Structure 1
Amino acid sequence: MKRYDCPALGERLGERVPRENGGRDVTIGRFNIELLEAFVAVAEAGNVTHAGSKLNRTQPCVSTQLRRLEDRVGKPLIERTARTMNLTPAGRILYQHATEILRSHEEARLRLSAPELTGTVHVGLPEWFATGQLQSIFCNFVRIHPNVKLEMTVADSATLHDMLSANEINLAIALVSPVKPSPNGLVEEPLYWTVSETCPLADPLPLILFPEPCPFRDLAFSALARAGRQWYERITTTSVAAAQVAVRSGAGLCCLPAGAIVDGIKILREQDGFPDLPASQLAIYTPSKTQSPIVDYLEEHLTALLQNAISPGSALAGKMQPDLRVV
């Protein structure tokens, strides 16, 4: 094998360059997109099996790709024990760059393959689901389609359903309506009892609730009745942000979906005397009348993105993500 007196020259040409790494030579070269996809998927899924499911690859394939990437980098990226997987310092550095590389790669792919769209689209989102991750999806959409104007309404699901019925918005991600046919592609998001460390948990329990027709109300009442607990309605608000502030201040308990849980809010579980709550169901809705090509494309795009976002949360990168699953 040819050696170079100047390591940088060898690196540029993709040759093996001697490095202080346990006696191994390290191949320095361009990163392979599929190897980066496997690494990021493992970091965000928390284990190789979930990453393989997300990528539609087998577990041995993902493990092999991780080893190949570590050989390319010349350093371990993930520390594995019998029970946990953690990013190494090199892994954390690569994760930051890899996510940007993959985002740019996907944007380029979409821009080259997407149809030419022109016009305005008005979308609706529930407040707790208008997360930075979902906002970035819409921002990427308008970046890919510079001739599309995006209008966004954040409201409770009942309001979004009314706006859809009145054809005031073109598309909404909303809680499943019991009076409308169930759409395809439902996703479930866990619902939790939440409280602060300072809130007393003796009966009667002070509840922070959203007004009718919020389905979380009946779920909370039924669960507490089964547990033999007493309660009273202390705060009623239409705002998820206001409910979060009330919970953190110790004013009471609130049923919140996973995506609405922020720092300073504690989850109560069955061992704390609070029965598990059924998951909330979300779906993408559009009005019944004929849609524009923009809405059709965005609906298809969002459905794929929601399903790809299903993840138990990152055990490696420490990211807080809504815990979603397909129904």
Structure 2
Amino acid sequence: MSSHPSSSALALDIVLLRTFLSVVDLRGFAAAADRLALTPSAVSGHIKRLEESLGTRLLQRTTRQLDMTPAGETLYTYARNILDLEQEVRARLRGESSAGRLVIGASEDFAGTWLAQVLQVFRRGHPGIAIELRVGITTELLRQQAEGELDVVFGKRCARIEDDSELLWEEPLVWAFAEHTALPSDEPVPLSVFPEPCVYRESAINALAAADIDWRLAFESRSMAGCLAAAQAGFAVSPVAQSQLRHGLRAVDESEGLPPLATARFHAFTGKPTPMTRALVDAVREVGRRRRFASD
């Protein structure tokens, strides 16, 4: 494959770019085919045509995984911007830029860490959409969605469950504690956790029980900020997703006697998807990809 295509070959077909983004975002040809209502062979053909037009390979494919090449990484960023601009132009020409409303439910860790970046991406194509945010525990938010109160829920789980949710990314859970403070080794592990039901709390207690380590409930709060403050003060250790670590906190490693935790899985629950909820989920996925979180 030539690395120096002619200038005429560099014309970018927006259909091919859309296919490329879908393959990368969904991490597979079959999933992209379902999203785009195409056959897997048609998706493969789109990628081949795009690579030929650019004169470079964009994807590295093996039997187990799909990764972008350095050229693919570069194209991904530009392609996302191109499609966002196309979407915005279409919306403005249809007079849709100032209409619409979404009611979103999100767990506090998602809202506190990811939401600002997500909204920045989302507003490029939907600058006039009004958004109402409700923050809470995933189980409660899903109940509200079932009652028709929420359009989409962004929540977390620590186990693989077959349902209609869409896995966005995975990241490790860690034990968060004060950055320059040693964890007490001669007493039960002091825990800072959410009230039940909470997947992080459940993961921590199960891990400690499996390792036969004594623990005590030292701090309980419905606020992630509260739990992290207790950890930052050296008052208690808190199980959190790795992305929640901030200045003043560190991840306690196994050398200090704490067992490994489960993996946190962030999901989108869209119920009855609409173009707006789909666009919002895509914005979340883009933000997760920028942080190099995978959804395998």
TM-score of the aligned structures, taking structure 2 as reference length: 0.65
Give secondary structure in 2 for the equivalent of 1:276.
coil
Q: Relative to structure 2, which stretch is displaced further, 194-203 or 241-250? A: 194-203
* Alpha-carbon spacing, 1:225–1:184, altered in 2? closer, same or farther (3 Å): same
Q: Which residue is equivalent to 2:198? A: 214
Partners of 1:160 and 1:172 within 8 A in 2? yes
Gaps spanning 5+ residues in structure 2: where?
1-11, 13-57, 61-65
| 2:290 equivalent to 1:325 | no
* Alpha-carbon spacing, 1:119–1:190, altered in 2? closer, same or farther (3 Å): same
| 2:69 equivalent to 1:58 | yes
Give secondary structure in 1 for the equivalent of 2:200.
helix
1:278-293 → structure 2 map (5 Å cutoff): 278-287=262-271, 290-293=272-275
Q: Which residue is equivalent to 1:193? A: 175
**Displacement, 1:107?**
4.7
Give secondary structure in 1 for the equivalent of 2:116.
helix
Q: Which residue is equivalent to 1:148? A: 129
**Displacement, 1:133?**
4.8
Q: 1:192 is matched by which residue type in structure 2?
A: V
Q: In the aligned structure 1, how far is the partner of 2:203 from the partner of 2:273?
A: 34
* Alpha-carbon spacing, 1:163–1:280, altered in 2? closer, same or farther (3 Å): same
Partners of 2:88 and 2:125 within 8 A in 1? yes
Q: Which residue is equivalent to 2:23? A: none
Q: Which residue is equivalent to 2:246? A: 262
Give secondary structure in 2 for the equivalent of 1:181.
coil
Give RMSD over aligned pairs: 3.6
Counterpart of 1:239 (choices 198, 223, 239) is 223
Q: Which residue is equivalent to 1:309? A: 290
Q: 1:231 is matched by which residue type in structure 2?
A: W
Q: Relative to structure 2, which stretch is displaced further, 147-156 or 232-241? A: 147-156
* Alpha-carbon spacing, 1:119–1:217, altered in 2? closer, same or farther (3 Å): same
Partners of 2:165 and 2:270 within 8 A in 1? no
Q: 2:190 is matched by which residue type in structure 1?
A: P
Partners of 1:121 and 1:170 within 8 A in 2? yes
Counterpart of 1:183 (choices 157, 165, 178) is 165
1:51-200 → structure 2 map (5 Å cutoff): 57-58=68-69, 107-112=84-89, 117=96, 118-131=99-112, 133-176=114-157, 181=163, 183-196=165-178, 197-198=180-181, 199-200=183-184
Q: In the aligned structure 1, how far is the partner of 2:113 from the partner of 2:209?
A: 36
Give secondary structure in 1 for the equivalent of 2:184.
coil
Q: In the aligned structure 2, how far is the partner of 1:310 from the partner of 1:146?
A: 24
Computing the radius of gyration from Cα coordinates, the structure with the larger value is 1
**Displacement, 1:222?**
1.8
Q: 2:119 is matched by which residue type in structure 1?
A: F
Q: In the aligned structure 1, how far is the partner of 2:197 from the partner of 2:214?
A: 22
Q: 2:198 is matched by which residue type in structure 1?
A: C
Q: In the aligned structure 1, how far is the partner of 2:163 from the partner of 2:80?
A: 35
Q: Relative to structure 2, which stretch is displaced further, 180-189 or 146-155? A: 180-189
Q: Relative to structure 2, which stretch is displaced further, 129-138 or 118-127? A: 129-138
* Alpha-carbon spacing, 1:270–1:161, altered in 2? closer, same or farther (3 Å): same
| 2:263 equivalent to 1:252 | no
* Alpha-carbon spacing, 1:304–1:254, altered in 2? closer, same or farther (3 Å): closer
* Alpha-carbon spacing, 1:159–1:146, altered in 2? closer, same or farther (3 Å): same
Q: In the aligned structure 1, how far is the partner of 2:126 from the partner of 2:164?
A: 30
Partners of 1:207 and 1:234 within 8 A in 2? yes
Partners of 2:173 and 2:262 within 8 A in 1? yes
Give secondary structure in 1 for the equivalent of 2:167.
coil
Q: 2:280 is matched by which residue type in structure 1?
A: L
Gaps spanning 5+ residues in structure 1: where?
1-33, 35-50, 66-98, 312-323
Cα shift readout 1:189-227 (whole Å, capped 9, x = no counterpart) = 210011113352332111111111101222111211222
TM-score of the aligned structures, taking structure 1 as reference length: 0.59
Q: Which residue is equivalent to 1:21? A: none
Counterpart of 2:255 (choices 249, 267, 271) is 271
* Alpha-carbon spacing, 1:102–1:261, altered in 2? closer, same or farther (3 Å): farther
* Alpha-carbon spacing, 1:142–1:192, altered in 2? closer, same or farther (3 Å): same
Aligned length, in residue pairs: 228
